[in-house]
Amino acid sequence: MKKKFFSLLTVVFTATIIWLVNSLGGPDLLSIFKSFNSKSDTINGIVVKGDETRYPVKFLRKIDGDTIVVLFNKQELTIRYLNIDTPETVKPNTPPQAFGKEASAANEGLLKRAKKVEIEFDVSEKKDKYNRALAYVYADGKLVQEILLKQGLAQIKYVKEPNTRHLATLKKAENQAKSNKRNIWSQ
């Protein structure tokens, strides 16, 4: 009887604390949880934490639709876009896939025309197995991943929790392209 009462009291107390924190405008519990999962890393001599900081970079060249090379802290850095994949154009022993050239050209055009290019890291892994930085890329404040998805030149792929900060926005963009049967979704 005492164990049941204690368990019930614990549940009520926990629920009350959560309700108070949320209703009084306290810290967002999801943010607190994500901060525990946050992992910093050193990239080109800069410690990046994945805290929504946007780092200015200089666009140097595109590799394909979802990979670019930038100048970050006076060093070249290859960036693989987080949470999206574009059709292949440069994969060894693989012919270019449908809409791959269009995705590469759109990616390059966005970044070449941009007056300001920035990158943002998410909370967990900052590099992939090929030692490419994993980041969100912005051209004049607009998320490049979102633009490529809206144009139907990319799809959501390689999503690894907790690197999902912009996933809801990206899903909305992908669904818009699917509904309009744009490019990769036209087949």
Helix H or strand E segment including 119: strand 117-120
Q: What is the DSSP letter of 127?
A: B
Which of 81, 79, 73 is CA-nearest to residue 56? 73
Tell me the CA end-to-end span of the chain in Å, nearest whole number.
64
Q: Rounded to an integer, what distance in angstroms lies between the CA atom of residue 72 and that of residue 24? A: 41
What contacts 81, CB < 8 A, 6 or more positions away? 66, 67, 135, 136, 137, 144, 145, 154
The partner residues of 64 in beta bridges, in order of sequence, read 67
The partner residues of 117 in beta bridges, in order of sequence, read 57, 139
Q: Rounded to an integer, what distance in angstroms lies between the CA atom of residue 17 and that of residue 174? A: 38
Q: Phi, psi (5° rounding) for residue 37?
A: -85, -10
Which residues are known to be catalytic?
Answer: 80, 88, 132
